Amino acid sequence: MPFLKPILDSIAYTRLLATFEAVDEVELPVYKGATFRGCLGDAFRRLVCKHPGKACEQCRLQDTCLFALMYSRPLREGHPAFGRFTLPPRPYIIEPMPGAETHFATGSRFWFELLLIGDVVDQLLPVLPAVMGIMGELGMGHGRGRFRVVGLQQADAQGRFEPLPAVGQAHKLKLDYAPSLGLDDSAVLHFDNPLRLLSDRKPMQEPPEFDRLMGNLALRMALLGTVYCGADWQDYEQAELPSSGVAIASHELQWANWQHFSGTKKLNMHFDGHVGRIAYKGNLAPWAALLAAGQVLHAGSTATFGLGKFRVESL
């Protein structure tokens, strides 16, 4: 897929590790991504919002506001895909700590990784320590348990975490740091968090066909690259994304229906999707770069919460 190479080459990102210590007892749900995202958004709004109580869509500062950039800014009118898509994917991904632990006693620690994409890195890093401090003061989870930041680190190209520099820029990683997949004629994808592929705004419950998954990834990378990383628009539909000929060989997928109560929207949000493993068979080599990008940047809807995380195993 030569037309996608400039897009993938353009994407740069910074991976951060935020570690917290409970000041009060903190009660979190089993899947913590939505809770972390909600608390992060509350803190961003407290720090940067100039017009509290006004919807972002009605605010004249939407084009310059960091909260809007992270949570609500629509696709700009000058973008080649304007009119086809309303909202671009958000320029960050929260990857919560794994495991089913929900209770964190005073003095215990918990964490999440935060991946920032493209030009938002330079905009957000100066305010991020203050934002995370506000997160701790606000508290989160059942009972709004308070916590404090005890570490904010960045990953290098080898995946090792080190303290963020007090002066200077954070590491900006490229997708060519993603591990080589070495794919041939078969592979297994393990979805650690629910994969949500939508059709008419509804989750598709049938096992994901390979071409549908690749189309989703291609569009996601095209929007991330052009909106946040300065790439030229490469319309995968006009380029006629070829049929892969790759078929589902087997799967052990389960339908997970995760829910989260949104304090902002005052309703239960559903994060249902596929978890488990699916094996594909066919000529996978041409799709290796796109799959490697997906391992870093996730797939499907609601990736900012950490959904759509997968890993590829060659056979």
Predicted TM-score (pTM) above 0.75? yes
End of a domain among 173, 206, 237? 173
Q: Above 60 in pLDDT, residue 233?
A: yes
String of DSSP letters for 107-161? T-EEEEEEEEETTHHHHHTTTHHHHHHHHHHH-BTBTTB-EEEEEEEEE-TTS-E
Query: pLDDT: is 271 or 33 the higher one?
Result: 33
Residues 160-173: tens digit of each pLDDT: 999 887 666 789 99
Residues 92-105: tens digit of each pLDDT: 999 999 888 999 99
Residues 39-63: tens digit of each pLDDT: 999 999 999 999 888 888 888 898 8
Q: Domain containing 252 — which CATH number?
A: 3.30.70.1900
Please check whether residues 63 and 83 belong to one and the same domain. yes
Please check whether residues 75 and 194 belong to one and the same domain. no
> Cα–Cα distance between 218 and 1 in angstroms, integer?
10
Residue 237 pLDDT grade (very low, low, confident, very high; cuts 50, 70, 90): low
Give the pLDDT score at 213.
95
Give the pLDDT score at 105.
98
What is the domain count for the chain?
Answer: 2
End of a domain among 150, 173, 196? 173
Q: Above 60 in pLDDT, residue 238?
A: no
Structural domain including 26 reads 13-173
Residue 176 pLDDT grade (very low, low, confident, very high; cuts 50, 70, 90): confident
